[in-house]
Chains A and B, each alone.
Chain A
Amino acid sequence: MISILLRKRELKVREAIIRGVYEENLKIIGKYNGIISKERSFSLKKMFLTFVISVAAIFMHVNYLSPSSFFPENQVTANIIIQRPVTLPVDPDNPSDYRTFISNQKVPLSRMFGLGVRTIMIDPGHGGADTGTMGKMGTKEKDITLDIAKRLRDRLKKYGHYNVLMTREQDMTIPLNKRVELAGLSKADLFISVHLNYLPSKPINIIETYYFGPPSDAKTLKLAEQENAGSQYGLSDFKEMIEKIGETLKLQESKEFAASIQKNLFLNIKKETGYAYDFGIKRAPFVVLLGVDVPAVLAEVSCLSNREEEMKLNTESHRENVAHYLEAGILDYLNKGETRNEAKRHTERR
């Protein structure tokens, strides 16, 4: 069944591409005037087919998820988990990065932000021509991310001491690198991008968070730990090293920020819906090229290929909940910074 759905999707893509080729060629000879319609007649037959496929999909889905139906019925309002440190449910089959990270005692040498956070930039994924992924009922990633982002913005604004910005407030196209650039230009202290996942082959809900930053340089880290490291190196080496240490710190901040977001999202969504897979935190590939210089993360807050998730995402209450979890993740991260700074000041005074 899934494969038929996939094939339908593929056919659609193929049709769009072929039409694109035709239109491009009309443009070349100057005949294109943009009138070519999207020939979308929603026939009864088509509607019926969609219905049959949907029913079958739900059927399959329930079948697949039957083990998780042992979980209690979904709660309408979520009881947010904020207090720390929660004893994390240990799942030996699915170890995630962030648990190891949180239990790791090695704390960054200094906190670059912490108390100083004023400006938070929220980035609703995709937009405009780039719809992102699309659910089987037609829900578009770009619309959901924008709505969640706006809710998150309003929540953060209530505190009164954050300057909250958005990379887009409308349905418009902006490539990822431009967005990160925007964060730099507006002197944001934190950057969070909101996305939805799509996993056609597995009807599950997965939560994962990517963090941005340069590749961690094991050698530099080691050097940083050696107190007299500088002495063995020439001036230029030393300068480069300092720069690299700075980058490494940024990376650690992003990683910690990601861990905080991931933990809050996953635990709360799991509590709310009874099922969710924790895919942990991951470093985003290639973002080294994007020159990120603030803690920056990208959260996949839900999975649009999952039919139940798609239906939930279409309810205001669920989107509000997700915004709430993100808010908790951000605050958690910021508070941790404060506590740690606090502790540090104490030890320094002594």
Chain B
Amino acid sequence: MKQKDIQKEDNILFVGIDLGTSRSSISASNSKREWIESYVGWPKDFISQQVIGKLVLFGSEALNNRLSVDLCRPLERGVIKEGIEKSEDAVKEIIKHLIELAKPESAQKIYAVVGVPADTLKINKLAIRKAVSECVHSLMVVTEPFAVAYGMNLLNNSLVIDIGAGTTDFCIMHGTIPSEEDQKTIFNAGDYVDEQLYSYLSERYPNSRFNRNMVRQFKEQYSFVREVSDEIHVEIPVDGKPVMHDIKNEVRRACESIMPALIETTTEMIARFDPEFQVKIKNNIVLAGGGSLIRGIREYLQDALKEYGPCNVSCVQDPLFAGSDGALKLAQDMPPKYWEPL
């Protein structure tokens, strides 16, 4: 029986969810695709609740009201903080909200595949399942880079490097579901770049007033490694007046600061395999996650790895949805007998 027929018969909505440290997205079988920033805010007190008019805020809305809400970024360092109920609640809220955004029909059953950072799955398997299971009828949890790999049909001889906010996740695919050995997580990722950029800018412009949020926005707008021709100037207030600042050198240094660890981990992971396999993986490296948007990062990595022979690095088309699209594909490919009621 075709998956489509089942869908009609039982009225099932398949969803793929990418539960990220900074952004989470959903792709559904009704063609809806939505994303939010992975922030959850609960109004701090009754008055805030009256002012805001909601019981819970998400993403940028939560961030914008950060003074009057209890803010939570549940997977901050790629891991649910153990024992903190708030984080589990936040995961629950994010999932619930994402599913609402996918607009299921009221009678529809929801079958979900959720991709989470590799370390989260390693440490908080059960907690994640618990947090998600309230909002869905049946559920599979997988690691995020694996979902990306599956979605891109990179089932064999490939390496996916997912450069997110809190973590960079590596996942080698060799025709089976990746084991813990095939996956590795490092903390050199988007947040790390932000920290570096923040400290470089503080050093160079001690009198200018900027915060981490602004710094992240500078990065997302101008990020690059090696060389780009454009000048990079941004407006930062000094003594209350907006002043243009040249930040090109700092942006480059901050973005390049994650490269050594990236290159080292890549070679280390590939080196465990036989040379013939190494050659194949090296020609099939895919960058995903927000960090893959750094200009020149593909070429940088490729050139660094070329020292030992030919190599091909590419980037996913749509880093925001690559994970949730892959998770959705997995959900739709899953035989009906594997979907167990919760």
Contact = CB atoms under 8 A, between A and B. Distances in A.
B125 interface: yes
Nearest to A176: B274
18 contacts: A10-B155, A17-B176, A18-B335, A20-B177, A21-B140, A21-B142, A28-B129, A126-B274, A176-B271, A176-B274, A195-B276, A215-B307, A285-B278, A285-B308, A285-B309, A289-B271, A298-B275, A300-B276
Interface in B313-342: 330, 333-335, 338
Given A13-B155, A28-B141, A215-B307, A284 B175 contact: no
Interface of B: 113, 125-126, 129, 139-142, 150, 155-156, 175-177, 267-268, 270-276, 278-279, 282, 307-309, 330, 333-335, 338
Interface in A2-28: 10, 13-14, 16-22, 24-25, 28
A142 B274 CA distance: 13
Given A285-B308, A289-B268, A22 B275 contact: no
A215 to B, nearest CB: 7
A286 interface: yes
Contacts of A197: 276
A258 B273 CA distance: 19
A177 B271 contact: yes
A283 B309 contact: yes
Contacts of A1: none
A334 to B, nearest CB: 23
Interface in A81-126: 125-126
Question: Interface residue tally of chain A, by bracket?
Answer: 35 or more
A13 B125 CA distance: 25
Contacts of B308: 215, 283, 285-286, 288
Nearest to B342: A29
Chain A contact residues: over half helix, strand or loop, or mixed?
helix
Interface of A: 10, 13-14, 16-22, 24-25, 28-29, 125-126, 175-177, 193, 195, 197, 210, 215, 282-290, 298, 300
Contacts of B338: 18-19, 22
Contacts of A20: 176-177
Contacts of B126: 28-29
A196 to B, nearest CB: 9
Given A10-B155, A22-B140, A177-B271, 18 more contacts: A16-B176, A17-B155, A17-B177, A19-B338, A21-B177, A21-B334, A24-B142, A25-B139, A28-B125, A28-B129, A28-B141, A176-B271, A176-B272, A176-B273, A285-B275, A285-B279, A285-B308, A289-B271
B278 A14 contact: no
Contacts of A18: 330, 333-335, 338
Contacts of A288: 308
Nearest to B310: A285
B250 to A, nearest CB: 33
A286 B309 CA distance: 9
Given A21-B140, A21-B142, A286-B308, A14 B333 contact: yes
B271 A290 contact: yes
Nearest to A288: B308
A132 to B, nearest CB: 8
Given A16-B175, A17-B150, A20-B176, A125 B282 contact: no
